[in-house]
Each structure stands twice: as structure tokens, then as C-alpha cells.
Amino acid sequence: MIVGVYGKVVHKEDSELYLAFFQQLEKKGINIYVYESYLKELEEILDLKNSNFIPFTKKKGLPKDTKLLFTFGGDGTILSTVAYIKGSNIPIVGINTGRLGFLATFQKNEFLKELSEILDGNCSISERSVLEVKSNFHKFLPYAINEAAVMRKDTTSMITIEAYVDNLFLNTFWADGLIISTPTGSTGYSLSCGGPIIYPKADIVVITPICPHNLNVRPLILKDDVEIRLKVHSRSEKYSLCLDSRYNTIGIDDEIIIKKAPFKIKIVKYNNYSYFKNLREKLKWGTDSRN
């Protein structure tokens, strides 16, 4: 069996978790691929001199027969894995060593108890839709699990965004920006801008304006099989395109086309996982003493 391990920052206080995790994998004779820069950080903190870990990079990627990709961090760590797995269908196991953790639902103090079940395949899989974004002139990693957002850049003035759905004119938004969110991303940036919470299995996207000048402009829900085209006008010659946590600078002469990607991301959950329970806990619903 082959598994991958990915992270951004190694926390010293989690040293025992890392050691116990790797020991369990090695006992089962599992081949372990670790993201190159993350492996270097782990080696600085842990005694891994006798390990047989194989480094992988964005260029090399993971072997096609990788069974699982374990991520240590928060939701942002999971979002960044799209650069490495893309449409490979490798399921992601998110261990939450970060803060909120909507996607990284395995808590670090409980994860090791679930590890054997996960490796044996005794777990559930949640499939999440992905956005694919293209531009006329710029090249970038075109995928986003949470959202694609266009925003003002180098100016405090609002921008004007012409939006088309399947080549039919939708509206001209006067705002600081516009968010196109998946159901997964509905609890992120879109939510903070007044967007709705969307059940992950729903086949929809939501368009949420960022600080719109027209107060009667509200988030709009669409079927996710549409193609959305955006044209930005600004006092600046540039604007920002944010794909999850990745920022790109785009010229105002460039149009952005957003549609559903031809693949989904697979997130591993424990068998009795409840999306609604997770939602209540993360958003602190029901904290009123009357509940």
C-alpha cells in the first residue's frame, strides 16, 4: 500500500502525534511518500534518520496507485492539495492541527484511534465538487475547491463586474468583488459576505457579491452545470483572482470563465460522521442555555 503525507507547518507540540502515526504506518509495511518541504521540517524536529520516506513534489506528484493522502493542518492545507492530486481520485484524510476544520474533521486527539479503520477502508467518502477557472491570457492552476473570487487591486474604489451565465447577461455588479462558491466553500468567504450555507451534496454554485453598492443585490444560487463569464472594469489596470488561497493578478482586458471541473475531490470521514453535527459545533449553534 502507498500513502502520501502533506502539510505546511510542523508544530513541535504535535511531535508525539507524528511519531505514533508514522510508527503505525511502518508497522503495516506501508510505503510513505511525504511532501518534500514538509519532510525537511519533520526531520528537523523528529528523529527520522532511519526512515524510508520517499519525497514527492508538485512536479513529480504522487504515484497513481496511492491509496490515501494524509494532511496535517487546517482546511487551507486540504485546499492546497488540489495542486498535487487534481483528478487522481486519491481520497484525502484531513487531520485538524489548525483552527476551524470544516474539511479536516479528524481531530488530532482522536485520529490515531481511527487510523486502523481508515487504512482498512472502514470509513465513508464525501465527494466535493471543484471549480475550473480559465482566462484568455493568463496561466495558473485552474482549480478551486472552495471558491473563485475576483476582487479590486491597487485601488480603494469599487470595481464593476459584468456577469454572464451560459452567455446570457446576468447583471453588472458594482462591488469590491464577486465570489463564485461551491457548496464546500459556502461556509467560507461567501458566508462572511452574507451567502447561504449549502449542503455539500447539492449540485449548485452560489454567486455572492462582496460589499455591493446596490443594497438590493443579494447572493444568487445556480445549477452547477452552467458556465459563468466575468468581465471586470476598474480604475486600476489590474484586479485580483483568488482561487481558494491562491492569488493571481489579472489585467482588466482579460475575461474569466468559471465552470464545474470534470472531477471531484474525495474527503475521508469516519463512519458516524454527521455534517449537521459538525456545522453546529463549528458555528457554535445551540450554545444558548435553552438548548
Q: What is the CATH number of the domain that holds 69?
A: 3.40.50.10330
Backbone torsions φ then ψ of 234, nearest 5 degrees: -155, 155
Q: Residues at the annotated binding site for NAD(+)?
A: 75-76, 146-147, 176, 187-192
Instruction: Give the chain's residues under pLDDT 50.
Output: none
Position 288 in a domain: no
Range of the domain at 167: 131-261
**Cα(207)–Cα(80) distance, integer angstroms:** 22
Together in a domain, 116 and 141:
no
The whole-angstrom separation of Cα 137 and Cα 159 is 20
Q: How many domains does the chain have?
A: 2
Same domain, 183 and 104: no
CATH of residue 214's domain is 2.60.200.30
Positions marked active-site:
75
Q: What is the pLDDT of residue 291?
A: 61
109 and 164 assigned to the same domain: no
Please report whether residue 289 resides in a domain. Answer: no
pLDDT for the residue 31: 93
Measured between alpha carbons, how far is 233 from 236 in angstroms, rounded to an integer?
Answer: 8
Classify residue 182 as exposed, middle or buried by CB count within 10 Å of its CB (0-12, 13-18, 19+).
buried
Per-residue pLDDT, 43: 85
d(CA 47, CA 199): 43
Residues 6+ apart with CB under 8 A from 274: none
Looking at the fold, whether 138 and 243 belong to one and the same domain comes out as yes
Annotated binding site: 75-76, 146-147, 176, 187-192
Q: How many CA atoms lie within 13 A of 146 on its CB side?
A: 23
Q: Do 111 and 152 belong together in one domain?
A: no
Residue 241: what pLDDT? Answer: 95
